[in-house]
Structure 1
Amino acid sequence: MEKIILLSNILRDKGLPVSIRSTKDAFSAYKIFKNRPELREALFSVYVKDMRHSEAFMDAYNEVFGVLDEENDESSGSGKGERIKSSEEQTPGEVTEGINIEDLAEIQPEIQDIFDSRTDESQILDRDMSTLNTFDPEIFELCRRLGMKIANRRSRRLRRSKKMRPDIRRSIRRNMKHGGTIIELMRAEPRERKSQHIFLSDVSGSCDWISNWFFCIVYAAQKTFYRSRFFDFDSRVIETTHLLDEDDLYDAFRNLRESRIRNLMLHGTSNMYTAFSDFLENVNFTGKSCIVILSDCRDWAGPRKDGVPESAELVAEMSERARKVLILNPEPKKKWDVVDSCVSIYRDAGAAVKEVRTLRQLAEVIEGL
């Protein structure tokens, strides 16, 4: 155990994110692969969650365990000439240091460790999304993993909600014939909740790249949303729901950008009055629908009456017809209601507004829908 603790401390000093759980997993791997040439690869799979840390791990491993002499291992017969016997090949009473599949499963780091403990990703998650304005494969992959994590958590929450909990009132009535003794336990029927989610993404110049990351996260988490639909808008509304059916996120992202180019929706100016009018006229939704709007609430080109944007009346109509209207604002709260920001006006119209200045905030809000 001392060597594993020493290795963990050296890796922390070198900048690798090593948690207590990782150290425990490494010790489990050490007990299984001790004195075997596979030890280095086993510890590598536990500690290294970013290939950029590979060299630092190798230096730390060699410092603790020494440089692996592969030629000596092969000549001594402890290398590739050695074969692990299966349980069927073992003779009665024979004790071998075999590798159990269950033991291998236990040493795998959990998804939470892989996702949350990487320093570089944590910095990206907490960066202002307005600075993420170029195509970066790392951010692209991070959004995909965020969406998958959201989908897993939403699915787990849905399964829990479907569990039939005991219905005390019905159980008491049913067991009156037994003198009040609870013999037959009655369970409540699960509530059927099928709220349609409609996503509206502002693709004007101020929200261009933010809307891209929004689409990537929704794409990866879409299976947990019932009959979800996706729309882009600036001064009009274009439905892009069909892009959610693409087999690959990269293809969906590329086709999304091409769709915006074809419809002249790159670096445009938002007119929420005409866009929301188009949406209300052409999109059917019910009182069970949840409308999620990604926008900075700045109706640049929309008409105003007595200083109040007329799009507020359309937001009020959405709020009356839908179950909920939620606006995700990528601007910090200190900029709300400044100059032409309409946050308070849209709130008064019945919409809820939440700050999603970072990818972490955006993911948390989408997960809670």
Structure 2
Amino acid sequence: MSIEEDEVDERVAQVLADGPPPLNGFLQRVLDFVQALRRAGVGATQSEAIDAVRALPHLDLLDRAQLREALAAVTVTSQTHRRAFDDLFELYFPARRAEPDDTPPVTDEPADELDPDDYLSDLLDRLMEGDDEAIRQMARLAVEQFGRVEGRDGGVSYFQYKVFRAVDLQQLLRDMLARAVDDEDRLTPLQERLYRDEFEARLRAFQQEVEAEIRRRAAAQRGLEQVADRMTRPPVEELDFFHLSAEDQAQLRAQIRPLARKLATRVSVKRKHGKDGRLDVRRTVRQSLSTGGVPFDPMFRPRRPHKPELFVICDVSGSVASFARFTLMLVHALQEQFSKVRSFAFIDTLDEVTALFEQGDAADAMKRMMSEAELVWLDGHSDYGHSLERFHAEYARDISPRSTVLILGDARNNYRQANAWVLQDLQRRARRVFWLNPEPIQFWDTGDSISSSYGRFVEEMVEVRNLKQLAGFVERIA
């Protein structure tokens, strides 16, 4: 290690130590950025902070794209953390292609009022020209004019939703296409598509500039760290199953296959290198003859791990549908790690859906399950008691000491009969019985939840609210 590297390491360690940081400027901003990543759940350690600083002399610091990728390479170890990294990078290293004095100061003084129609006409002209600098200036002006909200305490805040209530992006797109038609007299379908793609890209740039300006003003008013902690979204595998957007669900579906491969590797290694089995007395005594009968070297019988049979019983009603969907997709992606996987779904009655997952894509199987399986018996509201009773009547005889039973659901039974005796009998028949509950523990046994009634007859009722917790549990039982 060179003398220069030693000096860098000492300075970085000093900044990361407790107490007021002694450094200022760009180096301090990089270290603050790494600390923000750590608070956001990205595993950026002190050694990675040192690597980030060491990379700086080799970069063109005026090239944001190069800086972004270099810092990502040394701090992001999982693709699921990239979203949090990008959000924080935009906050800590905002684009500043113009001179510093062109950025209006954050002030509580209201700006001169603009006529909204005049502003929209001017914005349309700038968007048609495609000048990046002009678009950025118009975005800043939009935040100042339309995003400003004065609080009761006299303070001022800026909100993105108010800007886009005043600036209708879809109407702007239609106006831009209309102007393109006027300029060209007539557009072929290909020309119209090319224009649309280009105009949508310019509108996205405008929208991103508005978001960046909102963040800049919020950071100037409330402090960089406070804004960073509020705006950072959790990694996709830590998103709550109860609060998934369509985009979040698509990202989680894309994570299932890679996660299953990773879990399969871990399970195989665990089985291969598991602890030895019971003490082999005969071999131990024979081995001790060389030491005068003293058993210095105990001998153990080889451990023979087995693949369990897995029975999955899941509530697929609206309240827990996302949780059931991703659990079934993950389990069937890992079905080679089990000797047998059988799946049963229910709403107010139960049906076996194993065959739907044996061929084709798991996402398609979920769609077919909701349309083809007999899941509704009476009114389409969750009925755990009736569904468990039907499972016991038709399938309990298939449960053996090799079987592991998983029940998935929030145990909200709409004040109907519980039939907890079914779980008591399954516990007697099966090797293990678990209940996975996607609700936070503090909500168990509230309202129509009867978690305790079922929990006393299972080995463990586990809180599973996101994909990370689900993966950890599946790995544990495989």
Q: Which amino acid in 2 is paired with 1:321?
A: R
Q: Which amino acid in 2 is paired with 1:216?
A: M
1:188 aligns with 2:301: yes
Distance 1:168 1:276, change over 3 A: closer
Picking from 255, 258, 266, the partner of 2:368 is 258
Structure 1 contact 126–359 (Cα < 8 Å) conserved? yes
Instruction: Tell me the CA shift for residue 62 of structure 1.
Output: 10
User: Equivalent residue of 1:125, what SS?
Assistant: helix
1:130 aligns with 2:136: no
Structure 2 residue aligned with 1:360: 468
Structure 1 residue aligned with 2:77: 113
User: Equivalent residue of 2:253, what SS?
Assistant: helix
Structure 2 residue aligned with 1:328: 436
Picking from 383, 408, 413, the partner of 1:294 is 408
Q: Which amino acid in 1 is paired with 2:405?
A: I
Matched residues in 1 for 2:305 and 2:68: separation?
57
Q: Which amino acid in 1 is paired with 2:302?
A: E
Structure 2 residue aligned with 1:174: 286
Instruction: Tell me the CA shift for residue 281 of structure 1.
Output: 2.1
Alignment RMSD (CA, Å): 4.3
Matched residues in 2 for 1:351 and 1:184: separation?
36
Matched residues in 1 for 2:69 and 2:315: separation?
53
Distance 1:244 1:160, change over 3 A: farther
Instruction: Tell me the CA shift for residue 9 of structure 1.
Output: 4.8
Distance 1:157 1:244, change over 3 A: farther
Post-superposition Cα deviations, 1:190-231, rounded to whole Å, max 9, x if no partner, equal 234343111111101211122111122212222212212122
Structure 1 residue aligned with 2:335: 222
Q: Which amino acid in 1 is paired with 2:270?
A: R
Q: Which moved more, 1:138-147 or 1:204-213?
A: 138-147
Instruction: Tell me the CA shift for residue 351 of structure 1.
Output: 5.0
Structure 2 contact 413–449 (Cα < 8 Å) conserved? yes
Post-superposition Cα deviations, 1:301-335, rounded to whole Å, max 9, x if no partner, equal 733xxxxx3x2121222122212221111111111
Post-superposition Cα deviations, 1:150-198, rounded to whole Å, max 9, x if no partner, equal 222222211112x757957444411354353889985522234343111
Structure 2 contact 350–374 (Cα < 8 Å) conserved? no
Q: Where in structure 2 are the equivalents of 1:342-357 lying within 5 Å?
A: 342-357=450-465
TM-score, with length taken from structure 2 = 0.51
Structure 1 contact 171–182 (Cα < 8 Å) conserved? no
Instruction: Tell me the CA shift for residue 57 of structure 1.
Output: 8.4
Post-superposition Cα deviations, 1:332-369, rounded to whole Å, max 9, x if no partner, equal 11111112111111123345211112222222222211
- Structure 1: which 5+ runs fail to align? 29-33, 35-39, 41-55, 65-108, 304-308
- Structure 2: which 5+ runs fail to align? 10-25, 85-232
Q: Which structure: greater helix fraction?
A: 2
User: Equivalent residue of 1:340, what SS?
Assistant: coil
Structure 2 residue aligned with 1:148: 261
1:236 aligns with 2:242: no
Structure 1 contact 151–224 (Cα < 8 Å) conserved? yes
Instruction: Tell me the CA shift for residue 254 of structure 1.
Output: 1.3
Matched residues in 2 for 1:276 and 1:361: separation?
25
Distance 1:334 1:172, change over 3 A: closer
Matched residues in 2 for 1:230 and 1:63: separation?
43
Matched residues in 2 for 1:152 and 1:63: separation?
29
Q: Which amino acid in 2 is paired with 1:124?
A: V
1:60 aligns with 2:66: yes
Structure 2 residue aligned with 1:67: none
Identity %: 24
1:201 aligns with 2:347: no
Distance 1:315 1:58, change over 3 A: same
User: Equivalent residue of 1:256, what SS?
Assistant: helix
User: Equivalent residue of 1:190, what SS?
Assistant: coil
Distance 1:57 1:198, change over 3 A: farther
Instruction: Tell me the CA shift for residue 236 of structure 1.
Output: 2.1
Matched residues in 2 for 1:165 and 1:279: separation?
35
Matched residues in 2 for 1:11 and 1:357: separation?
31
Aligned residues: 290
1:278 aligns with 2:390: yes
Distance 1:182 1:230, change over 3 A: same
Structure 2 residue aligned with 1:75: none
Q: Which amino acid in 2 is paired with 1:365?
A: F
Distance 1:244 1:157, change over 3 A: farther
Matched residues in 2 for 1:24 and 1:58: separation?
18
User: Equivalent residue of 2:235, what SS?
Assistant: helix
Distance 1:169 1:223, change over 3 A: same
Instruction: Tell me the CA shift for residue 132 of structure 1.
Output: 1.5
Matched residues in 2 for 1:130 and 1:281: separation?
32
Matched residues in 1 for 2:256 and 2:458: separation?
30
Instruction: Tell me the CA shift for residue 139 of structure 1.
Output: 1.7
Matched residues in 1 for 2:43 and 2:444: separation?
39
User: Equivalent residue of 2:78, what SS?
Assistant: helix
Q: Which moved more, 1:200-209 or 1:181-190?
A: 181-190
